[in-house]
Amino acid sequence: MINKADRGFFLAGKEHMSEQRLAVYAPWDQRLLGTVAIASLDQAKDAARLAAESMSVLRAMPAYRRSEMLQAVARAIEAEKESLAAGIVAEAGKPLKAARVEVERAVLTFRTAAEEALRLEGQVLPLDFTPGSEGRWSLVRRFPRGPVLAITPFNFPLNLVAHKLAPAIAAGCPVILKPAPQTPFTALRLAELIYAAGEAAGFPAAALSVLHLENESVQALVESDESLRQVSFTGSARVGWELKRKAGKKTVLLELGGNAAMIVCADWPDIAGAAKKAVRASMGYAGQSCIAVQRVYVDRSLFHRFIAAAVEEAQSLVCGDPDEERTDVGPLIRPSDAERVTAWVQEAEDSGATLLVGAGRKDSLVSPVILTGTRPGMKVLDEEVFGPVMVIERFDGFDDALARVNNSRYGLQAGLFTRDAQQIFKAYAELEVGALIVGDTPTWRMDPMPYGGVKESGLGREGIRYAIEEMTEPRLLVMAL
């Protein structure tokens, strides 16, 4: 558990305090966990300048040193897995068993990055294609773009930070990290583990700063600081696309929202199993994941069986204190988010939707909700709920199901329950999503895989190897000897 703490921010490895402070509250009971110091815009610019200056040291740091450092961070996370999980429970309100899984995933993220640091491959290209080009050939290698401004959300305060920092270290890019204001303590602890591992490896402290910043400072830094070469943002679509508009010459990597859909076809043999998976993937961590199941389209012949199994599973979930081992559904991050979710559900009911499961709200805790009879125009269908809400609707014919999934401004991941190869490859070709998961929900993710969306769900891909590609650029060497 996090003890009440007053922390600063890390500017090039040194902790600084300031008079301007941000209070951090526990989502479950709203107790004060502590405060963190807010950095000024000038301090952020200093961090960017020092990051750029550290590039000369990073360029000279051999790949095996970066790999050893990343392995050391993975070991340090593993050694502190229980205290890190307890911290995630406290500041994010994530149920303990889910917090433990997040810590395990962060270990995998750093270990994978350690391996990828040794696999920054290039190409040899012959260039003797026309008369006069005899004897010419070339090398193509990837080089770090330069300093990255990384902005992370509250819902995975350890592993999504790891997905910014681990690939950057592997690629040789310095980072300024701006963690979510609701969950700063986990990011600060991870930074301490990185500094400790980096000291032995020759990693310059100036290559990592962790700054708590006001939104205006972030926007000004993105818009005006030319020493930053890339912005990597995970969060809401509205904020992400606004940052891209301001970024100018910087490259931008955006991992944004979604209202993930899944299709259950008539040939799927285990309808109850698919329903249980959908409910768990929708309601886990109170639906606060951009790939949480929100929309389920079920073949008409299976609809009532699926509904019955989903309702039974939702009613079996344990809601309450995230610090309890048995808890499945904990609080939303803020009471205001719980109010918004329940308002959207009520709006859908008032417009004709049928509430199948839903016992209401208490403070930040919203009980699992299942709706049917929704239609386009309802927020629970069109927008990203980011709460424990699932919509189940019938479809008539596979083309109808595909059209319903695509009828969204988002396109992150989708799930498909069928054993029909033709339908699988048709969905793969036609669904406008970054990934199609067959035989499981769209919530499934393995950290090394490419991860990202289309349409308003984002730009570029994460997943360690793919994030390294985003953070590096190819350079050509032509030999004419």
- The active-site residue, picked from 255, 313, 393, 462, is 255
CB 231 within 8 A of CB 209: no
For residue 462, give the 3-state DSSP assignment.
strand
User: Residue 291 and residue 298: Cα distance in Å, rounded?
Assistant: 19
Residue 192: CB atoms within 10 Å: 15
Answer yes or no: are the C-beta atoms of 133 and 481 closer than 8 Å. no
Distances (CA, A) of 242 to 80, 178, 239, 247, 338: 37, 17, 5, 9, 25
Contact assessment for residue 380 and residue 374, using Cβ atoms and an 8 Å cutoff: yes
Q: Is 432 labeled as catalytic in the residue annotation?
A: no
Pairing verdict, β 454-455 and 32-37: unpaired
Using CA of residue 286, residue 455, residue 109, residue 154, what is the dihedral sign? negative
For 468, what's the count of Cα atoms within 13 Å in the CB-facing half-sphere? 25
Instruction: Kindly write down the DSSP assignment for every residue of 427-457, as one continuous string.
Output: HHHH--SSEEEETS-TT---TTS-B--EETT
Residues contacting 102, CB < 8 A, separation 6+:
85, 88, 94, 156, 158, 159
3-state secondary structure of 475: strand
What is the three-state SS of 354-383? EEEECCCEECCEECCEEEECCCCCCHHHHC
Residue 274 makes CB contacts below 8 A (sequence gap 6+) with 264, 268, 306, 417
Catalytic residues: 255
